[in-house]
Every structure is written in structure tokens, then in C-alpha cells.
Chain A
Amino acid sequence: MDPRMGYGALGYDLAHLLGTATLVLSFVLLYQKRIDAVVNTYAAQAWVLAAAAFWQGWVQDSPHLYVTGLIALLAKGVAIPLALHNIVRRLRIGRSIESALGVFPSMALGMGMVALAILVVLPITLGAQVLTREDLAIALSVVLLGLLMMITRRTALTQVIAFMSMENGLILAAVGVAGMPLVVELSVAVLVLVAAIVFGEFFFRIRSQFDSLDISHLDRVGEAHR
């Protein structure tokens, strides 16, 4: 095994720290009430992700991970948060409060998700490197927390942020596994970019139709067909 990838080695410890930081930021996303804070937390998560990608690129000696990190930093850490802030400003919902699930239930559910991810990933990847295993468990936890956030949130904007934080988990998994080609990360990044554009257009449509981003208005459209 690569000595830089064991417990106690700097390569391992820092990678583990960055992955866990991403996970902690997912928890923060889960209970944030103000829209501005949600967007800022998302940007922070993207920065940590970019740092994780840079660190992995250096540890694994694979330059293409720098590209991944650069994409994460520029697109998800800067461009998308700026665009989201712009939307929030134009829709004037920056100070509005969204009632997510309470702090304790969100935390408890999130902990359950993380425990489940660890129970699933660790036994399956017995043969793989220690770092890969831990990294995959953390990445799956981030994905599950993103899913959880998607179903606890009410407005379309926060749901999209949840979707993109779920995608952060995928990137985290991709950078943690040595030998994953750049094209995977690129395609995921492009997908999210396209989704962000589509959702941005979508927000304004919903807003102009219902004067709100609360998606429960959409359910009434479905009920009309009953």
C-alpha cells in the first residue's frame, strides 16, 4: 500500500479532513433557514470540494484532478452562487425564512443516513484502499443528505441547491478513487451547469405564475387533472 495513504500519514489525514468537512457542510445545509445562508453554505462546500480535489491531485500525482478542482472552484464556488444570489435579489426573497425540518429531526435523520452509508460501503469495499473506502462512505453520505434535503425543503431554489450539493457528493467520490478519468467529472459538472440554467429559467416561470417559489403550488396543477 502507498505509505501516504495509511492512517496517520499526512496525505490520508488531510484528504479525510476535507471529505469530512464537506459532509459537515451538508449537515449545515440541512437545517439552514435563510436562503442567503443556504447559498453561502453551498459555496463554502464547493470550495472545500475544490480543495479536496486539489489535494487528491497532488497526492495521486494526477494533474487532471486540478482541472476538476478548478471547475468546482470557478463554477460551483463562484459562478453558481453569484447567479443564485442574483436570482435571490431579483426575486427579493433573500431575507425570507423557510421552515425546514427542525434542527433535531434533521440532524437525527442525517446521522441515520451517514450510519447507513458507512454500514453499506465499508463491508462491500473490503478489498479497496482504506482512503477509498472512507472517501466512498463520506461521498455516499453527502449524496444521501442531499436527497434528504430535497425532500425536507419546500421551495424550488433550496431544492435545486440540495440537488447540486448531492452532485458534490458524486464529485467527492470521483476524486477519491484513483484512476477515475477526467471525463466523468467533466460530464457531471456540465450536467449540473445545464441543470442550473434550466432551473434558473424554471424559477422565474414559477414565480411569474404563482408569485412564490413554494412548489406546493405545482401540486395544485396536478390536482386539477384529477
Chain B
Amino acid sequence: MNVAALLAVLRPMLAPVLTALLAGCGAVAALSYLVMGAPAVTLDLPIGLPGAGITLALDGLSAVFLLVVFLASTAAAASAIGDHHYTETAPFLPAFVGGMALALVAGDGFSLLLGFEAMSVTSLVLVLSTHRDGTVRQGGLLYGGMAALGALSLIMVVGLLAQRGLSFAAMRAAPPEGWRAILVLALVLVGAGSKAGIVPLHTWLPPAHAAAPAHVSALMSGVMTKVALYVVVRVLFDLCGPAQPAWFGVPLIVLGAAGALLGALRANMEGDIKAALACSTIENVGLITIGFGVALVARGADLPALASLGAAAALLHIVAHGLFKPLLFLGAGAIQDGAGTRRLDRLGGLIHRMPVTSALLIFGAVNLAALPPTAGFAGEWLLFQSVLGAPRIGGFAVQVLVCVTAGLMAMGAALAAAAAVRLVGVALLGRPRGPRAAAAEEAGPWKLRAMSGVASVAFLVGLFPGSVLRLAGPALRTLTGAEMGERAGLAVLTPALDMPGYAALLTLALLLLAFGAIWFLRQFADLRTTRGPAWDCGFGASTARLPFGDPLTQYSGGGFSQPLRRALGHSILAAREVVSMPEPGDTSAARIEVTLRDPANAWVFAPFAYWRDKASGIADTMQFLTIRQILSVMVGVLVLFLIVIAVIEQL
């Protein structure tokens, strides 16, 4: 990948081609490694830290994530072939993919940090590809701040874990205990969780993912969040050792449930399709986090079957989401290129002008809405099964928590389905809301190839989720010490051996049968078109200026989400609607202004900003102290330091 980056510096147009080729080879390699049974391999390289070098390690867990990263990268890079807009930042694309791959195959703390930060920095540069736009710069700034915070926390995590050495083997030999384990849990949730979009550090995702070019946001939302989840999982499941208590997973469940609800709700409110998709990523990351949390709790309670179920569900959903989210983002990019905007209020009727893109987007949205027999459904269904199987663990508190989580998950899934309907209904169906949308152009051949490629892989995953879990067997053994085994069959996926399961192929057959029956009945139907005066669904009469009627009388994105906004947004997002009527005699239109506030902004970022201002105020007064006061402060600090030393000596 670094070679590709170097080559790409010389010939920017080559970057996507090379990245796609290398990532494709990487995907094949990862798949064949998994098929071979994923024997653990380590490789010591004499480069890196002086005297220590770096260690690369490959096992089943890294290979599953590598497979997802490489598949999505192949598609994303292929979609950028022939795209001349991003030649300035093209060399960073292979570097970005290489950083993610390095983070996944890292065998020590240093290479993990190196890969993770390479991923952060290159993705930041890629976000800033179109930096002449002010909102892009703002999104990039927010992202940069969060990335710095994450780097700080992750360095501390590595420092806390590396009691005997930087290599993963040395970290496993000295698992953290007591307050150190709690600190590791908190810091890894801040450090990697902020990158993954785990609440409450998720607020940077919608602006940054919307700002990046489509193929970059496809990677950031689809797989960079997964690399961050990999770090969470690697640290909490593997490096912290198997002896952690059951409550270790509770923060993951709580934060995941909050993210599932909040992300799905916000996905219904955003007016920008890419921002809405990024919010849906927050929801899916929340669901995956719940799965891992259940696995941690069950492993702590010594229930290997449930633990492997939770981890398997999370991994399956990672694979599914890592495929359909890049598809959706690439589709959103195609819409932006073809129809000139990402705003729902300007789109509409694209299914006539961009039929292939629309069909692929609808397939992605069906995944997003978790309808069978798609990969999205398989993942979410298994997640539900793991949570519904969880009340048997722990005491009353855990049981209540699990019940509430199941409720929130259900709500999140329903809201995600509503968001998918909103995206498809407003952007693709109906009639164009603007001239650019009416003159939209179908995406280029490479974009279509990339999207159909990733869609067909997602389709296969949806049909054979059991096979994916078979491949993930070594990973599950690393995580929970147990595999899905017979529960993950070729055709049927069951949460427990004696329970009924989910047969994707059978569902597809039933669906085909139903559609076949409809088609058959249609043969006998009267297909003549009849026209007549109708109520016209509120459309005004056509004028010369608007031959198809006024398209703005259709449901808009904001109008579609209004019921949800009024029902849920008021309490969760502090939604406010202000109708400003024009003065009498003024002919301008009345306006409705909707303001939303993410609770994380109100409860985390606003207090943080307040205390930062306080601290800078104190620092400011320090500047104007008198000479004696400054001397006194210095002497006071020195005396305090000596007192601390004296106290430590006495202990």
C-alpha cells in the first residue's frame, strides 16, 4: 500500500486503480486465509522503534476485519477510477487503506497506534479534499479534534496495557486488574469509541462523513468505524484477558443502546442524504456494540454459548454493515454527481433518470431497513436473538438493563426502517423537486461496477450468513472461547441448537414465489391505462412554467419526519419548531424553522467548552499577576511538589 501511495504521488490518476487492485488481492488473500482455518501467524520486522522493531500478527479476528476492509476498499477505490476531482489528495487513498490494514495486522502496541493514527491523519486529509467549502473545513476541524482526543486516549491505553512490553503477547501475560482495568475500559471507549461513533463522542460523524468525497465517506463510515471497533474488541476481549468480570460489558450495552436509538432518530431528521447515512452508521455501530457487550457479560458469567452468539451476531453485522453502507454512500455520491446536490429537498424522481443507481440504492436501503433475506436482516436478527437470550444472565439489574436494551434496539430498528423509507421515497421516487434533479445523469461505468460488485457480495452474505460465521469461527474462539458450531449451518442460522432458526434461502424462495404469483395473476389482469379526473393528491393544476405540477407540494424530507420529530424529537433531540409568519402586507412565504440539538452536545461538549473557557480565563489572569504574586505561585507549586514527594516517601 505504501508503494502504491508512492506511485500515486507520481501519477495521481493511478491511485484508485492500484488501490482497487491491491485491495482486491488483499480481500482474496484474507478470504483464502480464513478458508484455510486461520492459523495464527506472527512476523517480526526490524523496522520501527529503535531496538524493538515492530511485530505483525494475523489471526482469525484480524482476518475477518481485513476481509471487510479490503472488500469495501476495492469497491470504493474502483468507484473513484476516472474521477478527476480528487487528484490532489489521491495519494492518501492507498495510504488510508494501508493504515487500516496495518492497524488490523498489528502485533504490538506501537504498530497498532501507528496504523490507527495513519488511518486518522490520511482520512482527515481526504475529508479536506474539497476544503474550499466552509462546512467541509468545519467538519474537518471537528474530526481533527476528536481524532487528537482519540489518539491521546489510545496512547494511554497502550501505556496502561504495556506493563511488561509492547507486544500483544506481553500484554496478554499481564492483564490489567482493578482500577487499571476500569481505566483501560474507559479510555478505549473514548479513544477508539470516538472513531467508531459510539455515543457520546459521535457528533463528528455526520458533518465529517457528509463533507468527505463519496468514496472516502464510504470507507470512513463503512469500514473505518469497524477498524475502531476492532481496536475496542482486541483490547477488551483479547488483551485484557478472559478473566474480566461480567460488568465489563455493561457500559458497552448502555452506550450501544443509546447510540442505536439516537442514531436512528437523527437519521430521520437530517436533510442531507450523506449525513442521514452517517447517523444510521451511529445506529448500526450502537447495535454492534450491544452485541459485543452481551458477549462480554455472558463470557464473564461463564455462558460460552450466549457469549459466542453475541460476538457472532456483532461480527455478522459488521460484515453486513461494512458492505451495504459503502454501497449506500457510493450511491449517495452518484446522486451528488448526477443530480448536483445531496439535499433531500432538491431531489426526487431519480429512479427515472438513474435507474441502475436507484435499484442498487434500494437494495442498500432494504439492508438498512433490515428486511429479509438481506445481510442487514441476518445481522440484526442474530443481534436481537443474542439480547433476547440474555435475560438468563446476571441479577435483577442486568435483566432490567437487557429488557430496556431490547426495547431500545427494536425502536432503533424501526426508526432505521423509517429512515430508509424516507431516503428512498423522497430522493428516488416521486417527482423531481428541482431542475438539476429533473436532468440527473446516470453514474459512470466504474461507479456502477463498484456498486454492483459490493451489492452482489452483500447479497451473497445475506443468503449464506451461516457460512460467514463458519469463516469467523477462529475469531469467535479468540473472543469468547467458543464457536457457533452447528448453529451456523449453510442454510439455517439458529441462536441455539434446539430452537427454530432463520433460513435465508427459504425466505428468498418464498419471496420469489409471492412475486411469481403476482406476475402470474397480472397476466390475466386488465392492463389498459385508464385516466380520469382525480383529487390529484393535492397537486396543483399544471401551469406553463411547471408542466408536471408544482413538485414542492410533495412530501419533503422534513415533512416526512415531522411526526417522528414531534413524537420523539422533542424529548430526545430538544426539537423546536418556530413558524415565522410574514408581516401583513408582506408577500414573502411563511417559514418553519426547525432546530435540533444532539444530547451529546448539550451534556458533553457544552460543559467541556464551558470548563475550557474557565481554564483559559484562569490562565489569562495568571498573565497579569504582580511580580510577587507570580513568585508566590512558583514557590507554592515548589512547596506542593516537595510535600507530594515527602508524602510519597512516608508511604
- Residue contact B631 to A119, C-beta cutoff 8 Å: no
A223 contacts the other chain (CB 8 A): yes
- Given A123-B650, A216-B626, A222-B624, do A116 and B631 touch, yes or no (CB 8 Å)? no
Q: Which residues of B contact A117 (CB under 8 A)?
A: 642
Given contacts A148-B635, A151-B632, A151-B635, contact A120 B624 (CB under 8 A): no
Give every chain A residue within 8 A of B498 (Cβ-Cβ): none
* Docked CA distance A218–B626 (Å): 8
Q: How far is the CA of A120 from the CA of B642 in the complex (A)?
A: 7
Of residues 131 through 162 on chain A, the ones whose CB sits less than 8 Å from some CB of chain B are 144, 147-148, 150-151, 154
Complex interface: chain B residues within 8 A of A222 (CB): 624, 626
A124 contact set on B, CB distance < 8 A? 645, 649
Q: Which residues of B contact A154 (CB under 8 A)?
A: 628
Cα distance A215–B646 when bound, in Å?
34
B138 vs chain A, min Cβ distance (A): 33
Q: Any chain B CB within 8 A of the CB of A90?
A: no
Query: Using an 8 Å CB-CB cutoff, how does the interface string of B625-651 with A read, 1 for contact, 0 for none?
Result: 011100110010011001101100110
Are B626 and A219 within 8 A (Cβ)? yes
Check A119 against B626 for contact (C-beta < 8 Å). no
What residue in chain B is nearest A123 (Cβ atoms)?
A: B649
Contact B649 A147 (CB under 8 A): no
Nearest Cβ distance between residue B646 and chain A, in whole angstroms?
A: 4
Closest approach, in angstroms, between the C-beta of A145 and any C-beta of chain B?
11
Q: Is the CB of B639 within 8 A of A116?
A: yes
CA distance A223 to B639 in the complex (A): 28
Docked complex Cα distance between A222 and B632 (Å): 17
Interface string of A200-226 (1 = CB under 8 A from B): 000000000000000110110011001
* Pairwise interchain contact B626-A147, C-beta atoms closer than 8 A: no
**B649 with A119: CB separation less than 8 A:** yes
Complex contacts, B649 vs chain A, CB 8 Å: 119-120, 123-124
Considering the chains assembled together, what is the distance between the CA atoms of A53 and B233 in angstroms? Answer: 65
* Count of residues in B whose CB is under 8 Å from the partner chain: 15
- Whether the pair A147, B638 counts as a contact (CB closer than 8 A) is yes
Question: In A105-126, which residues have CB < 8 Å from any B CB?
Answer: 113, 116-117, 119-120, 123-124
The CA-CA distance from A148 to B628 in the complex, in Å, is 11
Least CB distance from A127 to B in Å reads 14
CA distance A151 to B643 in the complex (A): 19
Complex interface: chain A residues within 8 A of B645 (CB): 120, 124
Query: For residue A144, which residues in chain B have a CB less than 8 angstroms away from its CB?
Result: 639
A40 → chain B, closest Cβ, in Å? 25
Given contacts A151-B628, A219-B627, A223-B624, contact A119 B638 (CB under 8 A): no
Chain A residues within 8 Å of chain B by Cβ, number: 20
A148 proximity list for chain B (CB < 8 A): 635
Q: Which residues of A contact B627 (CB under 8 A)?
A: 215, 218-219
* Assembly CA distance A218 to B639 (angstroms): 26
Q: Can you name the residue of chain A whose Cβ is closest to the Cβ of B644?
A: A120
Residue of B with least CB distance to A147: B635
Q: How far is the CA of A123 from the CA of B628 in the complex (A)?
A: 32
Task: Tell me the minimal C-beta distance from A163 to chain B in angstroms.
Answer: 11
Chain A residues with CB below 8 A from B638, complex form: 147
B643 touching A116 by the CB < 8 A rule?
yes
A223 CA / B631 CA spacing, docked (Å): 17
Given contacts A147-B635, A148-B635, A150-B631, contact A116 B626 (CB under 8 A): no
B residues less than 8 Å from A151 (CB atoms): 628, 631-632, 635
Q: What's the least CB distance linking A21 to chain B, in Å?
A: 24
Q: Which residues of A contact B631 (CB under 8 A)?
A: 147, 150-151
Q: Which residue of B lies closest to A222 (CB)?
A: B624
A202 to chain B, nearest CB (A): 12
CB-CB contacts of A15-43 with B at 8 A, as 1s and 0s? 00000000000000000000000000000
Complex CA distance for A148 and B631, rounded to whole angstroms:
9
A216→B627 CA distance, assembly (Å): 8
Q: Judging by beta carbons under 8 Å apart, are A215 and B628 in contact? A: yes
Give every chain B residue within 8 A of A219 (Cβ-Cβ).
626-627
Assess whether A119 is in contact with B628, with CB atoms less than 8 Å apart: no
Q: In the complex, which residue of chain B has the Cβ closest to the Cβ of A152?
A: B628
Give Cα A226–Cα B624 distance, bound, in whole angstroms: 8
CB distance from A209 to the nearest CB of B (A): 15
Max chain B C-beta neighbours (<10 A), residue from A113, A147, A215: A147
CB distance from A160 to the nearest CB of B (A): 13
Contacts known (A147-B635, A147-B638, A151-B635); A120 close to B628, Cβ less than 8 A: no
Minimum CB–CB distance for B93 against chain A, Å: 50
Nearest Cβ on chain B to A170's Cβ, whole angstroms: 15
**Residue from A116, A147, A223 in contact with B646 in the complex, judged by beta carbons closer than 8 Å:** A116
CB neighbours of B632 from chain A (8 A): 151
Q: CA–CA, A218 to B627, complex, Å?
A: 8
Please report which residues of chain B, range 593-630, place their CB below 8 angstroms from some CB of chain A when the two chains form the complex: 624, 626-628
**Across the two chains, which residue of chain B brings its CB closest to A140?**
B642
Give Cα A16 to B628, complex, Å: 33
Q: Is the CB of B635 within 8 A of A119?
A: no
Bound complex: CA A216 to CA B639 (Å) = 24
Q: Which residues of A contact B642 (CB under 8 A)?
A: 116-117, 120
Kindly state the separation between the CA atoms of A117 and B649 in the bound complex, as whole angstroms: 12
Residues of A within 8 A of B626 (CB): 216, 218-219, 222
B646: chain A residues within 8 A (beta carbon): 116, 119-120, 123
B residues near A150, Cβ cutoff 8 Å? 631, 635
Name the residue on A nearest B631 (C-beta): A151
Of residues 141 to 193 in A, which have CB atoms within 8 Å of B's CB atoms? 144, 147-148, 150-151, 154
- Closest chain B residue, CB of each to CB of A124: B649
Question: Closest CB-CB distance, B634 to chain A, in whole Å?
Answer: 8
CA distance A154 to B626 in the complex (A): 12
- Nearest A residue to B630 by beta-carbon distance? A151
Q: How far is the CA of A9 from the CA of B627 in the complex (A)?
A: 46
Whether A119 lies near B650 (C-beta < 8 A) is: yes
By a CB distance below 8 angstroms, the chain B residues around A216 are: 626, 628
Q: Please, which residues of chain B bring their CB within 8 A of the CB of A218?
A: 626-627
Closest-CB distance, B647 to chain A (whole angstroms):
9
* Nearest B residue to A216, CB-CB: B626
How many Å lie between the Cα of A151 and that of B625 in the bound state? 13
What is the bound-complex CA distance between A223 and B627, given in angstroms? 12
Docked Cα-Cα span, A119 to B635, in Å, equals 17
Cβ contacts A to B, 23 pairs, < 8 Å:
A113-B639, A116-B639, A116-B642, A116-B643, A116-B646, A117-B642, A119-B646, A119-B649, A120-B645, A120-B646, A123-B646, A123-B650, A147-B631, A147-B635, A147-B638, A151-B628, A151-B632, A215-B628, A218-B627, A219-B627, A222-B624, A222-B626, A226-B624
Contacts beyond the supplied A119-B646, A218-B627: 11 A-B pairs with Cβ under 8 Å: A116-B639, A119-B649, A123-B649, A144-B639, A147-B638, A150-B631, A150-B635, A216-B626, A216-B628, A218-B626, A223-B624
Sort A-B residue pairs by CB-CB distance and give the 6 closest, nearest first.
A123-B649, A219-B626, A119-B646, A151-B632, A151-B631, A120-B646
